[in-house]
Structure 1
Amino acid sequence: MVIAIRNLQEAGARKIVCMGILPLGCSPRVLSEWRDSPVDTFDKKGCVKEMNELIGKYNEVMGEEMVKLNAEFEDTQMIFCDVYKGMTEIIGNPTRYGFKESKSACCGVGWYNASAVGCVAMEIACRDVRRYVWWDLYNPTGVVNSLLADSAWRNQPFSTICHPSTVQDLLLT
């Protein structure tokens, strides 16, 4: 990512937003694949600890690298948005955000609607997608993406996902 961001800057980009990685250890596909693992494999939210720890570390290091890049390229404004934080808040408190289901996919087949096949036809999709955190094997629903986008834009409902500023502030400067 650092190389890609350097390439963008060298190509003339002066405002760059870098998104972190979602908590894939909570995704329906991963939960399906790890379902027979020992209990201590999972965290308090029911997600695969090891995977999310690696993703969390990646996001942390990427945020630190963005700070260094901002200092190096004074004529370029860059922000890092750690959507992992917002997603883990939703997964840990689904009803607070209007969700009923935070483990299974809305569209798919098998364990967690993600072990046999993903979303290959709308006929296998859930009836009320607004109640689900995950759309398919690894992707959040549009409702979740809207919450994350609103937070990246203006720090609501999750503050400090993006730093050193919001996307809105980046565009206004």
Structure 2
Amino acid sequence: MTMRRRLSACVLLLLVLAGQQAAAKKYAAIFNFGDSLVDAGNLVVDGIPEYLATAKLPYGMTYFGYPTGRCSDGRLVVDFIAQELGLPLLPPSKARNATFHHGANFAITGATALDTSYFVAKGLGKTVWNSGSLHTQIKWLQEMKPKICSSPEECRGLFRRSLFIVGEFGGNDYNSPLFAFRPLEEVHEFVGDVVNSIGEGIEKLIAEGAVELVVPGVLPIGCFPVYLSIFRKQPEMYGGKSGCIKDLNTLSWVHNVALQRKIVELRKKHADVRIMYADYYTPTIQFVLHAEKWGMLRQKPRACCGAAGVGVYNFNLTSKCGEPGAYACDDPSNHWSWDGIHLTEASYGHIARGWLYGPFADPPIVGNRNLE
């Protein structure tokens, strides 16, 4: 390569990096909604229930050094995104004496896309632990507006300059019938209602002024130790290379396809709004199949933090991470699964970068956007 070409390549790289940094600075705030994958502590604001293991060490050990209410050893996807965009970590929306001018995290463990009444009507009231559905979280945003804006017009202006992350939602909606051991065919019947509810939530946020929304799909649940321990299958039902339960992953895939179709519909309806699909499924499958590429141990799905139970998954329902008898692995960064239910900080970091710059978002968050 000639000196001129080298200089041109360097200049191009600098321009790209400068463009990314400039784009990142345009977000005034982030407003995040979701469940335990992105809960930054809303469930523990009013105190830590004795039964809640996720609010005890070793949760939080890697980054914070203490439990924060996050269901991981450290930061979550939304934390990495905030830091990369030059914003502070989002305070839980229920936090007292917090300021929310740079955004808020409304996510709470147990959240669903559908309201509790939906599950009660289907006889599933005992298997849904719903602390705040998507639509409830949007009400929390609406109730917060007087704290962050002096007028509705000011709020709309702030929201137009903000990033909204809507989910993921759906995981707990499907857990309700799955953990009630309803037939998988019946669980598939929930998909349309779940995706429609997410679509309705997106439209509510657009009506509030949102023009930049990230909408994540669900994880490949058949790869997670909690499901592998509970739903034991015949050998042919497991992926030969992955060790994951194929029909559970199919459920996740069907949801994600339906969600992407819903996003296409909403893009056509709201041409001035940028809606980004964010992928949890593909990177997690890559962690399982190509662990070495991500600096992780190549092994069958196995929790970093847990206790011996059914199979080789290091997951035990009677001794979960944070409970007596459970221990964390020496190095969570070389595991993708933290507690058999949620991911490690290392995994979330890889996913966040994939959402920001590609290839795990369509389109990536950092790019041509509608912000002025």
Same fold (TM over 0.5): yes
1:137 CA drift (Å): 2.3
Identity %: 24
Amino acid at match of 2:350: L
Alignment of 1:87-126 (within 5 A): 87-100=284-297, 101-111=299-309, 112-116=313-317, 117-120=319-322, 124-126=327-329
Amino acid at match of 2:321: C
Matched, 1:41 2:244: no
Matched, 1:136 2:332: no
Paired position in structure 1 for 2:350? 147
Amino acid at match of 1:147: H
Paired position in structure 2 for 1:162? 361
Structure having the higher Rg: 2
1:170 CA drift (Å): 5.6
TM-score (norm 2): 0.43
Contact 1:29 1:137 in 2 (8 A): yes
Displaced runs of 4+ in structure 1, greater than 6 A? none
Contact 2:280 2:351 in 1 (8 A): yes
RMSD (CA atoms): 1.8
1:86 CA drift (Å): 1.2
Q: Distance in 2 between matches of 1:60 and 1:17?
A: 16
Amino acid at match of 2:235: V
Q: Distance in 2 between matches of 1:171 and 1:77?
A: 7
Q: Distance in 1 between matches of 2:338 and 2:345?
A: 8
Stretches of structure 1 lacking an aligned partner (at least 5 in a row):
none
Distance 1:135 1:102, change over 3 A: farther
1:172 CA drift (Å): 7.3
Stretches of structure 2 lacking an aligned partner (at least 5 in a row):
1-197
What are the Cα deviations for residues 137-157 of structure 1, in whole angstroms up to 9, with x where unaligned? Answer: 2111111111110011111xx
Distance 1:99 1:172, change over 3 A: farther
TM-score (norm 1): 0.89
Q: Distance in 2 between matches of 1:102 and 1:153?
A: 29
Distance 1:96 1:102, change over 3 A: farther
Q: Distance in 1 between matches of 2:306 and 2:368?
A: 38
